Amino acid sequence: MKLDSAVFYTNNLDRAIAFYRDIVGLKVDYIQKGRFASFKLESVKLGIKKAVEKREIPGHQTVFIGVDNIKEIYDQFKSKKVIFLKELVTEDWATNFSILDPDGNKLQFIKK
């Protein structure tokens, strides 16, 4: 088995697309106008879906993104207007930091 994709929910799809494309720097893979967008992260996709069902609650999801150049990525985010949930730290399990998207979903960047 391997993970194919993960989905975050949003209240504002256009704002979420701009954040993931322009701030995070992900490449848009697919857009279904007003409903869904996906971004490619190597062999896995991150989907952003307009919340329409009761169970689709923006701000309650987390994704971990493995990177090699964590300090460089951290410094790039520090120069942008993003909300840090956790500053860059080295812990027993990994060096990591996390930011929030406009809906409060968490992106945790890690380097093991």
Q: Which helix (H) or strand (E) holds 97?
A: strand 95-100
State the pTM of this model: 0.92
- 15-61, pLDDT tens digit by residue? 999 999 999 999 999 999 999 999 999 889 999 999 999 999 999 99
Q: What percentage of the chain carries pLDDT values higher than 70? A: 100
Model confidence at 1: pLDDT above 90: no
Q: What is the pLDDT of residue 3?
A: 84
Domain annotation for the chain: domains and CATH numbers:
5-111 (3.10.180.10)
What would you report as the CA-atom Rg of the chain, rounded to the nearest whole angstrom? 14
